[in-house]
Structure 1
């Protein structure tokens, strides 16, 4: 019986002693009676910043609602930022809430992919792996579930990222500015 968690976020992803991820807090999850059911109508519940916009708007939960939330978690892992950030855009101006999705989309479309990656990594990553991880995360977050991949596709893409990152270096690991143009997201 398929289950939609409805509150995928970092606080609900736990690590066991072998650092294997486990999802916790199934308090607001919903089960689909059969595989053939495509959605369930219900009150919109979840955490602001991670909530599937299609579900929030239509109150129709679908099997890809958690894929959206997982995409936001991936963006947090890549960037080291939270889902919603409060920033002052102009000195002396009001604080503005910026969703991580909009920030990443803006940075990547302006060819500033290096600014997206968590600075704590200090350039110790492979650009192909980062590019694939960002593309995977962004594939999870379209406004409609029909445009999102199944979670098994996301899993396979993340396995590819790990293989890219683990592959022997043909050259030293550095951030590569001229490589940015290959990762534009609409």
Structure 2
């Protein structure tokens, strides 16, 4: 393929297959996802992603630009997100060279939540992503976030009832325990997974880390046990916060608000979790609290960061 120089520039790997950097004849940068013969998702998810993304249009969802469905080769062409994934920056390939500040992390969380809100509220029928995780939240050159990878997504009725699925889908560390136990899928399954992402943003740690002790293997269990044992907010701040990041006194309230929100999202019973719209509201308020005193909510929603240098990403790829 000319656009990708015969798939010579690999920039990622997912359940569907490898992702390569490409450039169209008009100069536009793209990401090309090639279906692997060893893919755990396969042709069904390939077609599902095409079907869903052809219907969706939101600033916080990665855009599908085209596809090839030849029997010898199946590929999807997306807009290129040059700053990689949220996972890369928190505990992945860029963790040692990139430190997202607190304001940026809140902004990324809000962007992703607004993308999910579009799926849950604005789409008819509503769409449950089913694979919300930090590696599926991609960042553009200004570190604005977009939700990606819709191969496992599911359209469900809008009558507020759960949808029973025959096969449980999701990723280890992010999977809603109620969905796993009952096979009943609702948008609250995405809320649970997003709660895990919020904990990653706070702690800078993997959801499941086999290199840690048994007590710290699961991020969720570690945080819940620690919060239960240390009721003083200052203590929680000291030991839970990502050590690479430093909060100012003005950031303290938003940190505790986000920690509280994440714990509400990961409740074992779906009925006790907030809706994605409630999450969006909380995140907007948290972001407002860390910007200048004269910033209004309207300004926060249109807030853009200074251009972020992604040369470290391109150099590594």
- Normalising by structure 1, report the TM-score: 0.80
1:7-54 per-residue CA deviation (whole Å, 9 max, x = no partner) reads 10011111233432211111111001x310511111111100000000
1:78-97 per-residue CA deviation (whole Å, 9 max, x = no partner) reads 000110123554xxxxx666
Distance in 2, matches of 1:97 and 1:123, equals 23
Change (3 A) 1:87 1:17: closer
2:158 corresponds to: 35
2:272 corresponds to: 147
1:47-81 per-residue CA deviation (whole Å, 9 max, x = no partner) reads 00000000011111112100000000000000001
Distance in 2, matches of 1:154 and 1:73, equals 13
**1:74 aligned to 2:198?**
yes
**1:122 aligned to 2:246?**
yes
- Gaps in structure 1 of 5+ consecutive residues: 90-94, 169-186
1:119-167 per-residue CA deviation (whole Å, 9 max, x = no partner) reads 1113446221110010011110111111111101011111111122225
**1:99 aligned to 2:222?**
no
Distance in 1, matches of 2:220 and 2:274, equals 17
- Contact 2:215 2:222 survives alignment (8 Å): no
Distance in 2, matches of 1:88 and 1:4, equals 32
Distance in 2, matches of 1:116 and 1:97, equals 12
2:185 corresponds to: 61
CA RMSD of aligned residues (A): 1.8
- Contact 2:196 2:266 survives alignment (8 Å): yes
| Equivalent position SS for 1:121 | coil
| Equivalent position SS for 2:210 | strand
1:164 corresponds to: 289
Distance in 1, matches of 2:215 and 2:259, equals 24
Distance in 1, matches of 2:290 and 2:160, equals 38
**1:138 aligned to 2:138?**
no
Change (3 A) 1:44 1:122: same
- Contact 2:254 2:287 survives alignment (8 Å): yes
Tell me which structure has the larger Cα radius of gyration.
2
Query: Whose relative contact order is higher, 1 or 2, with alpha carbons under 8 Å and at least 6 apart?
Result: 1
| Equivalent position SS for 2:146 | strand
Q: 1:108 aligns with which of 207, 227, 238?
A: 227
